[in-house]
Copies of this chain bind each other. A is one copy, B any other.
């Protein structure tokens, strides 16, 4: 055993990075967690910020507060721009950070499949800023419809297209429809929010295609009950300020939300490592990067094929499992004790919520849907919210909005640059 404390640098305070940092508690290492945000974001509920149900602070917790009682862990707020493997340093906006072991868990971002110009008209949902900006667009669309005297314009302001039928797209479409049909229904004098069109556009032939077909159909039925129109089988051909073109038809819509493509953050470029089509680093069975047993990539940034041929899904559960696994592995390496075997993924199931009272879950062996599943979804998404306060306040907000259909966070705030 050597004398100087080993330096572990973790990049990214998402589910994977934060779990790793916490799992080093009591281990004789010096951990540095680097993130460009000062908070950990509970991304599964981000769509509720975008649809005015929750405030940002209810799903975001300051990293320093979470790690207050982890004295071997310090937090750097900085932008990582690269890795110098020869010098063993992480290159950041605040200078170089040397490492003995490097853990990268920088997540993913949305992609427009090469059509980057669409991002102006169809924002994606990955950050708090994305969420408040989408919230502003949705609420402003109703305001502008109310202010307009042109029926065609009113109609296009009251048409919302969500592109992408994965869990985020389904949740967004359901929540926008509820916002229009329940929360806002008595708020206007000229327009009737019940006339709002919410269109969920999926290029494949069914929504939630990661789930069994039966559950997809159940979800589609639930969505239709909420007033969502579902268009499957046609990719988006164009997207501009007037609307979306699909199947040679232009659908006029002033508000389009992008939930279609995800690509990994540029860790593969930093490491010059092999990556899959979505940009994820292809890792060994112990999450290390081939040829570099001191560098690990986790969560949405990693591509790990399981022995049964399937890939570890981009969910919070496997990310947290990987974080804890890698911390244990590094601790064993440092103390020269026998290291654990390969990472074993425990799949607990996969859920999606459609709206008030409707959710689906796939446990692999069996599936569930309906009201009880929705309550289960609520409990499972409430428990991991770090800190009693958030859990309690979010629960109050949910119960409140369940019984009243009210959404309390209907604020149109503007970015600094747009202020007068």
Contacts and interface: CB of A to CB of B under 8 A. Distances in A.
Interface of A: 37-39, 55-58, 60-62, 64-65, 68-69, 74-79, 94, 127-129, 132-133, 139, 143, 146-147, 184, 186-190, 387, 389-390, 392-393, 396-397, 400, 406, 408-420
A147 B139 CA distance: 39
7 contacts: A39-B410, A57-B408, A60-B411, A74-B189, A77-B146, A77-B412, A128-B413
Contacts of A389: 396-397, 400, 406, 408
A39 B55 CA distance: 15
A123 to B, nearest CB: 10
B411 A68 contact: no
A79 to B, nearest CB: 8
Contacts of A416: 129, 133, 415-418
Nearest to A57: B409
A359 to B, nearest CB: 24
Contact of A415 (B184, B408, B410, B417): B417
- Most chain B beta-carbon contacts within 10 A, residue among A65, A79, A406: A65
B56 A411 contact: yes
B393 A39 contact: no
A113 to B, nearest CB: 20
Given A187-B68, A396-B396, A416-B417, A411 B74 contact: no
Contacts of A94: 147
B128 A64 contact: no
A397 B60 CA distance: 15
A411 B39 contact: yes
Given A55-B55, A58-B55, A77 B147 contact: yes
10 A-B pairs with least C-beta separation: A415-B416, A417-B417, A64-B187, A55-B55, A57-B409, A415-B415, A74-B189, A62-B410, A77-B143, A38-B412
A410 B77 CA distance: 14
Contact of A38 (B79, B186, B408, B410): B410
Nearest to A187: B64
A387 B407 CA distance: 12
A393 B65 CA distance: 21
A187 B65 contact: yes
Given A39-B410, A79-B420, A127-B419, 10 more contacts: A38-B410, A39-B411, A55-B58, A65-B187, A65-B406, A69-B186, A77-B146, A129-B415, A389-B406, A415-B416
